[in-house]
Every structure is written in structure tokens, then in C-alpha cells.
Structure 1
Amino acid sequence: MKITVFCSANEHIDPDYFRMTEELGRWMAENHHDLIFGGTSHGLMNCIAKAVHNGGGRVIGVVPSLVEKGGRMSEYLDVHIPTDNLADRKSLMIERCDVVVALPGGIGSLDEIFCVAASKCIGYHSKKVILYNMKGFWNSLIALMDDLNQKGMIRGDWHNMIEVANDFKELKNLLNATI
């Protein structure tokens, strides 16, 4: 399975996020799942790439030219796919994966999550989108989505577009159900 992971490229975040990201990366490698990610050498992005790569898994980095020019490309790439911009990166990451997992992240991760969910809602694909709710990281987003749903701003139940895993066991179950 090819798993696209959206996540933070920041270094100064909760150390538990790194530990939990590494756990996911090791599991992916052990189970022969490929990683598709944004290709940077910082934060949770580099953490998952290193864990998958060091575990013998395949790491596919979809890298915008500005990241590459800035010398911020991960050294753990097995496959390097260059892109001109973030929109192209996002499209390729979505197109080439079987499932998307969102780890803690910021504006970029939110953009990516909602792009995948919106295109799923319209019918462009049927790929599963999973929020890995590490230590309740996504709780405020979940509350917002519930509020939008309650106010009639989302057609149907948003849980049909985005699933939530509150721990690693739940995440593995959702991923294994994708195979």
C-alpha cells in the first residue's frame, strides 16, 4: 500500500509526536507499505522518512523546487519526484497514494487534508483520509467539523470523508481495512 502522510515540518513541537511518528514509520516499513510525503528534511516529515527508510521501506518524496533550492530536502528519499509548486506536490501525493494519514501539522497540512476530503466529497476518488489524533491534537478541528455538520454546512456526515484514529491501534485497524 502507498500511504501519503501529511504532517508538520517544524522541529520545536511535542517530542511525543516524533516518537509516535517514528512508530508509524517503523510499522509501515515492517508491513511493506510505501511512504509518500512532502520531501523535507525537518520535523515530522523527516522523522517519518527516516523511520521508513531505516526500516527498509520505500520513501517517495514529492519535493517542491523551493524546498530543494533551499537545501531542505530529506536525505532519506528512495524516489525523488520534483515539482514546481505546492499545488503540484499535493496533486501528485494524492494521485499516487492508496490512503492519506494526517499527523499533527499546520496550515499546509490543513490545506492538504481538506483538498483530499473535498475532492472525495465531489467524487473524484474514494481514498480514505485519516486524522491521526495524537494526544488529542486534532480535537479542536474535530469539534469545528462537528459544529459545521450541526449547522448544515457539510453535506452528509463529515466522518464519511475524514476518519479519526485516536491511538495507534485504531490507526492500524483503519489502514489494514484499506488493504
Structure 2
Amino acid sequence: MEKIGVFCSASENIDQDFFEATGQLGEWMGREKKTLVYGGTNLGLMEHIAQAVKMNGGKVIGVVPAIIETNGRTSSIPDQIIPTTNLSDRKDIITKESDILVALPGGIGTLDEAFHVISAASIGYHSKKVIFYNINGFYNSLVNVLKEMETKNFIRSQQHDTYAVADSLKELAALLK
């Protein structure tokens, strides 16, 4: 797993614990010479992980929709920028360019991106997995909803193979190797 796609928050107004855990992941990725593939903005956890990966020797690829560029929110950190027309293109390109994907804490956009990948894998477009990095139990409620959906047969049991949950950096690193 050399190219790791990361979906995460662009918010600056989130708990510092999320920035710390994100920085630790970025440091690990850089030390392991992994490539970060991400949304390419200069805000929130996105900018934080890009800085950490780059400062620790990793490569950074930003996938940037035109509206982000127009609004002046493109990060200066990436080694490579892949421009896209819109968010749908960005999701597809991040998925295509990545070996595996990680959903850090985030909002609606992060959930949209993660479920886009999971849905596509569930019907055979690819065999890539999303790992929900459950920092401080952030995804506990979502994981419970997914389990309930599976119990009630709204999610087929084999769809469970399209995602995983990591509660610590050690667990996440093991899944990324």
C-alpha cells in the first residue's frame, strides 16, 4: 500500500486531538515513504496531514476541484496537483490514484467520499477498502448504524469487506501495510 487516499475535514474549528492524531498519521506515512492522495486544500486536517507527510519524507498529491482553486484554497504543499472539474471527479481520481483509503474525522464531504468508494467496491468497480480512523470514538455511532443495517439485511455481509475500522494509529498502520 504505497499510495494512501485520505478523506478528512477542512475545518479549523475542531478539537486539537484530531489535529494531533492526524499529524501522527502523516508523520508515519512520511517515514514509511508513503504517498498521500487527498483533496488538496490548505485548510483543517487536509493541510495538517499534507504538512506532516511532506516534512517526514513522503510524497503528496493534491486533487483539486476548480472551485477550490478559484477560491484560493489550494495548498502549496503537494508535489503534484491534479485539477478536476468538480467534487465527483475528485472522488473518482482520489480513488483511482490510491491503493487504499482512510476516512479521518470529517463532515458530510468526508462521509460522501467514503461511501462513494464503499458503494463502488460493493458492486465491483474496484476492490479498494476504506478504513475509518476512529479517533476518540468519532465513528462509533456510524459503525453502530452500519452494523444495524447489516443485521436488518440492508447491507450484505460481504459488503463489510469494503471497509474496516481502526481505533488507534497502531491498528491503522497494520491495516495499511
Report the TM-score, using the length of structure 1 for normalisation.
0.96
Distance 2:122 2:169 in 1: 26
Partner of 1:172: 173
Partner of 1:58: 59
Contact 1:5 1:102 in 2 (8 A): yes
In structure 1, the gaps of 5 or more residues are: none
Residue 17 of structure 1 corresponds to which residue in structure 2? Answer: 18
Could you tell me which residue of structure 2 aligns to residue 38 of structure 1?
A: 39
Q: CA deviation at 1:105?
A: 0.5
Aligned length: 176
| TM-score (normalizing by structure 2) | 0.97
Q: Does structure 1 retain, via aligned residues, the 8 Å contact 2:122–2:159?
A: no
CA RMSD, 1 decimal: 0.8
* CA deviation after TM superposition for structure 1 residue 48, in Å: 0.4
Give the CA deviation at 1:129: 1.2
Once the 2 structures are TM-superposed, how far is the Cα of residue 159 of structure 1 from its aligned partner? 2.9
Q: What do residues 15-41 of structure 1 show as CA deviations (whole Å, max 9, x unaligned)?
A: 010000010001101101000000000
Amino acid in the other structure paired with 1:121: S
Do the aligned partners of 2:5 and 2:37 also contact (CA within 8 Å) in 1? yes
CA contact 1:149–1:157 (8 Å) conserved in 2: no
Query: Structure 1 runs of 4+ off > 4 angstroms?
Result: none
Q: Matched residues in 1 for 2:110 and 2:45: separation? A: 12
Structure 2: which 5+ residue stretches go unaligned?
A: none
2-structure distance, mates of 1:78, 1:89: 17
Would the aligned equivalents of 1:18 and 1:44 in 2 still touch at CA under 8 Å? yes
* Higher mean C-alpha deviation, range 48-57 or range 151-160: 151-160
**CA shift digits 1:48-75 (9 cap, x unpaired):** 0111111121110000111111011112
